[in-house]
Structure 1
Amino acid sequence: MRILWGFLSGLVFGLGLVISGMSDPAKVLNFLDLAGSWDPSLAFVMGGATVTTFLGYRLAWRRPAPVLDASFDIPANRSIDRPLLTGSALFGIGWGIGGFCPGPAFTALPLLAPGTLVFVPAMLVGLWIGDRIKARGITDLKGASA
């Protein structure tokens, strides 16, 4: 049952990305182009998502546990460190260059656009490299471990 709900949640999320235009890299790049042909429509998408998330969390936290699990899985690490800032910067640079973040990139795959067919494999390789780096305990480019 949990797999079914996960699938349905992903389907609704993906449809929302497609309907909002987030799976169109040109629309995303126009949103990021403040000095050129700026398209503010994605700000409304992000604003709507923020309000929905805020309300959803307020409802969820009233429950003793999630509907499909025994307890809430809340990260214990709340520090802002070099790996977090580096990852955030890489994510932003990739989003600005490619016009995709991971969710919309996967929803755009069925379009078989050349940019998507390059971005998704590159993203997966980057994720794999990141996992290898974390597995070795390397937290910066000098090779020092945390």
Structure 2
Amino acid sequence: MMNNKQNLIALFSGLLFGLGLAISQMIDRERVLGFLDVVGKWDVTLMFVLGGAVGVTLISFRFILPLEHPFFDRQFYLPKRNDIDTKLILGAVIFGIGWGISGFCPGPAVVSLVQLTLNPIIFILAFIGGSLAYKSLKIDKG
């Protein structure tokens, strides 16, 4: 069970992430669809969001990962696999199709709920449905 420090860090991180998504307009599906339209009227502005996120991560991880453990936990939770398999490729393709059709990623869709419009609600319900379908198919075994 998480302690209070972990809960506060999770709350702060989520608020910071949501605020960043809103300020960068990642919750504006028209802007995201414009970014994905690389052969049409491409909107390059979200490339700066990606660059900022990757830049901060590259710099901060150089200081954080050498630590024995995170500040408020006993261990780091890092992926143990780095291979590329069929499930990864298929999942990425399906994710990309869903992102291209809807203009939403899961995180920005949750933040978009504050706009009280129907599109993010439909997306979140479909996202939950897709997750439940995956779980019911037991694809992850093996």
Give the TM-score normalised by the residue count of structure 2: 0.91
Shift of 1:131: 2.3
Regions of 4+ moved over 6 Å: none
Deviates more, 1:92-101 or 1:28-37: 28-37
Amino acid at match of 1:10: G
Partner of 2:119 in structure 1? 115
Amino acid at match of 1:99: G
Shift of 1:4: 1.2
Partner of 2:93 in structure 1? 89
> Pick from 6, 17, 31: which aligns with 1:2?
6
Q: What is the count of residue pairs matched by the alignment?
A: 138
Partner of 1:12 in structure 2? 16
Q: Superposition pairs for residues 41-80 of structure 1, below 5 Å?
A: 41-80=45-84
Consecutive unaligned residues in structure 1, runs of 5 or more: 140-144
Provide the identity percentage.
Answer: 41
Partner of 1:102 in structure 2? 106
Amino acid at match of 2:28: D
Partner of 1:142 in structure 2? none
SS at match of 2:70: coil
Amino acid at match of 1:50: V
Consecutive unaligned residues in structure 2, runs of 5 or more: none
Shift of 1:75: 2.0
Partner of 2:25 in structure 1? 21
